Amino acid sequence: MAALSFKPELTLSVLVTDWDAARRWYSEKLGFQEMYAIEEVGWAELQTPLGGATIGLNRLEGAHPGAGSVTITFGVQDIDATRAEMEKRGVAFDGPTNEIPGMVKLATFHDPDGNSLMLAQTLGQ
Q: Output the tens digit of pLDDT for each of the chain's 125 residues.
A: 788 888 898 999 888 888 898 899 889 888 899 999 999 989 999 999 888 899 999 887 666 666 666 788 989 999 999 999 999 999 999 999 999 999 999 999 888 767 788 999 999 86
Whether pTM exceeds 0.85? no
What's the total number of domains in the chain? 1
Residue 15 belongs to a domain: yes
CA dist 115 → 69, 101, 111 (Å): 9, 27, 5
Residue 1 belongs to a domain: no
Residue 31 belongs to a domain: yes
Residue 43 belongs to a domain: yes
Contacts (Cβ under 8 Å, ≥6 apart) of 107:
79, 83, 93, 96, 97, 98, 118, 119
Residue 113 belongs to a domain: yes
Domain range for 71: 6-122
Q: What is the CATH number of the domain that holds 103?
A: 3.10.180.10
